[in-house]
Amino acid sequence: MRAINIILITCIVGYLGYIGWRQLPKFNDGQKAPDFTAETYQGKPFKLSDLQGKIVLLDFWGSWCGPCLQENPKLVELNNKYKTSTFKNADQFVIVSIGLEKDEIRWQRAIDKYNLDWEYHISNLKRMRDPIAKLYGVREIPTKYLIDEKGYIIGVNQSFEEINKYLMSKAK
């Protein structure tokens, strides 16, 4: 009986360790956010480093992801609250959404349905094999990186309350 308990505990600890590893981001606070180029869903060229001087929330999501869809109203609220704000040392706050998709129509419908009316929506239509997701070590979604005006990561997978608190502390 003792051997079965040890095996069971080992399996549980191993599983929890695996789950925890899957949720670990590739980059930590204080590291430079890797630059990337892409095309927005409106067909405009995009380069992350062009947003230097702005506070950026890099949001990895999917139209097929229940938890992502549940977060959309909070993203919209955050965007509406801060899109016209001015900040100490930053020009503005912007959201960059990386859609881990394979169906372009479904993705665009979700953007419209949830009123995700910010400018920067990107998808390579390769779902979890998306090169930007690979660059950032995204293993599950939603995943968020908060990036400061100098291009440094200041928060990974923070709650909306933490993001809001940070933005309020930087707002003029």
Span between the terminal Cα atoms of the chain, in Å = 64
CATH assignment at residue 71 = 3.40.30.10
Q: Of 55, 57, 78, 75, which Cα lies nearest the Cα of 65?
A: 75
Cα 59 off chain centre by: 2
Whether 5 is in a domain gets the answer no
Residue 78 has pLDDT above 90, yes or no: yes
Whether 11 is in a domain gets the answer no
What percent of the chain is modeled with pLDDT above 90?
80
Whether 8 is in a domain gets the answer no
Whether 144 is in a domain gets the answer yes
Q: Of 143, 113, 150, which Cα lies nearest the Cα of 128?
A: 143
pLDDT by residue (tens digit) across 16-74? 444 444 455 566 778 999 999 999 988 999 999 999 999 999 999 999 999 999 999 99
Whether 90 is in a domain gets the answer yes
**Mean pLDDT of the 100-117 span:** 96
Whether 21 is in a domain gets the answer no
Q: Of 40, 55, 42, 34, which Cα lies nearest the Cα of 134?
A: 34
Give the domain extent around 103. Answer: 27-170
22-56: b (≥16 Cβ within 10 Å) or e: eeebbbeeeeebbebebeebeeeebebeebbebbb
Whether 104 is in a domain gets the answer yes
Q: How many domains does the chain have?
A: 1
Whether 6 is in a domain gets the answer no
**SS3 state at 129:** helix
